[in-house]
Structure formats: C-alpha cells, structure tokens
Structure 1
Amino acid sequence: MSTRYQFVVDGELSERALAAFPDLSSTAPNHGTTVLFGAVTDPTAMRGILARLDNLGLTLLEMRQLPD
C-alpha cells in the first residue's frame, strides 16, 4: 500500500530536473518554489526521492503526507 506525499522544493525546477522524478507529478512553479506530489510505495522509495533531491542540490522546504 502506498502513501501520498507532497514535497515543496526551493526554486523553479527545469524540465530536466523534473525528469529525475518520473514517479511524481508537479505543479507549475509558484513564488519561487516547485511542488512535487505522488504516491510513495515504501521507505526505500522515500529514501530514493530524498537522495535524488540531495544529488541535484535541491533544498526541500516542506514534506507532508497527503490525506487519502
């Protein structure tokens, strides 16, 4: 069973940066941030998302679990 999460990232991500997160959807950049959201299947998938954010040098401003 997966859980839906939202990740607010500092900056307006390019299409190339967004391509690093094929399992997540995004909203149009707003006020200097980008919102990624989607289902995260397990702790390993969560660590993978966080590692990609780190590897790209992105700053995670907020992460929250979304209601079902």
Structure 2
Amino acid sequence: MTHMCIDTTIRAAKDYGYKITLISDGCATKDLKWNGVTLPASLIQSTYMASLNQKFANIKLGSEMF
C-alpha cells in the first residue's frame, strides 16, 4: 500500500541515490482512521503522492507514460 511499502521503498531508494519514477495509479491505499476520524483513501493517496513528488521521486500518472 502507498502509505506503507511504497513510501518506505521510495525513500530508501532515494537514500541509495536512485532516480525514481513512480506511477501514481500503479499503487493504492485504503481508508485510515485517526483520532476517531476516517480519512478517505483518495486523501491518503493524494497526500503521499504530493509529499513524495519532486523531493523523493518523479510522480507520473499512467496516462502520462504513453
């Protein structure tokens, strides 16, 4: 899931000096609960893509690849 393995792998790869391109619609997440509030998966996905983009990876939509 984006909020776990994808995030961790991207950040570790950057630490090793890799240049990373991540296709955002090639990974997914789920609703998360925090402090009694359910955060929708779409918000979680967008938040992680925004935080990784240009700092750790070049984030692309699948439609931008072809």
| TM-score (normalizing by structure 1) | 0.31
Q: Which has the higher contact order (CA 8 A, sep 6+)?
A: 1
Q: Which has the larger radius of gyration?
A: 2
The structure in which a higher percent of residues are strand is 1
Bigger fraction of residues in helix:
2
**TM-score, normalising length from structure 2?**
0.31
